[in-house]
Amino acid sequence: MIGVGKIKQYANVLETPLSKGKQEVSLSAFAFLFSELVQYNQTQVDNIAELERRLEDAGYSVGARILELLCHRDKGNRRETRLLGILSFVHSTVWKVLFGKVADSLEKGTEHEDEYMISEKELLVNRFISIPKDMGTFNCGAFVAGIVRGVLDSAGFPAVVTAHFVPMEGQQRPRTTILIKFAEEVLRREARLG
C-alpha cells in the first residue's frame, strides 16, 4: 500500500517498547533546535536573569525525565541514594547518554562543604554559540544546569545549580562549570547516613 509509513502503530504510548537509546540525529538538527529555544525565550524576557531562569526551567523538565528513563532502563528501577553516588551518576551516566561522553571533571568546592562542580571544556550546547559582549557572563549552559537540577531534585537531592564560564590558562575559550549547591537537608541526611 502506497504511503503507509514504516513506523509500527501502538494503541497507546505505554505499549510502545522503550527505545534502547541508540538512535541518533545530527548535531546540526539539535543545534538549530537549541538555538531556536534560546531565541524564543529571548522574546519572552526583559533581562538576562530571566532568560537564564527560563532556560534552566526548560532543562529541568529534561532532567526529570532523563532520570526516570535511565533508572528504568539502565539501573533496573533503582536510583542512587547517596550524595557521591548521584553526583557520579550525573557526571558519568547522564552525561554519556545526553552528550556522548563523560564530563571532563567532577570536583568538590574548596570553600564550601555543600558545593560541587562539574566542568566541561566545551559544553555541547555551547558549541556554535558566541555570547555577545553586551550579555556579560550569560551562559546558555543554564539549560544544562537545569537538566542537572532536574535530575538531582527528582532523585531527592534538591540543589541550586548554575552555569558559569571559567577562563582557562593557555586556552582561547573559557570552560563551563556547572556549580551545584545542595540544600541543607541533603547534607544533614548525608551526615546521618554516615
Site of interaction with other proteins (CB under 8 A): 2-7, 9, 12-13, 19, 21, 23-42, 44, 54, 57-59, 61-62, 65-66, 69, 97-100, 124, 128-132, 135, 140, 172-173
Question: Shortest Cβ distance from residue 82 to other proteins (Å)?
Answer: 26
Question: Shortest Cβ distance from residue 22 to other proteins (Å)?
Answer: 8
Contacts of 146 (CB under 8 A, 6+ apart): 55, 56, 57, 58, 59, 60, 62, 63, 161
Report the DSSP beta bridge partners of residue 108.
Answer: 116
Contacts of 159 (CB under 8 A, 6+ apart): 149, 152, 153, 180, 181, 182, 183, 186
CB closer to other proteins out of 34 and 182: 34
CB closer to other proteins out of 48 and 183: 48
CB closer to other proteins out of 173 and 188: 173
User: Between the CA of residue 187 and those of 5, 92, 180, 182, what are the distances in Å?
Assistant: 52, 22, 13, 7
Question: Shortest Cβ distance from residue 158 to other proteins (Å)?
Answer: 20
C-alpha cell at 131: 555570547
CB closer to other proteins out of 64 and 179: 64
C-alpha cell at 16: 510502545
Question: Shortest Cβ distance from residue 10 to other proteins (Å)?
Answer: 9
CA atoms within 13 A on the CB side of 94: 27
CB closer to other proteins out of 29 and 166: 29
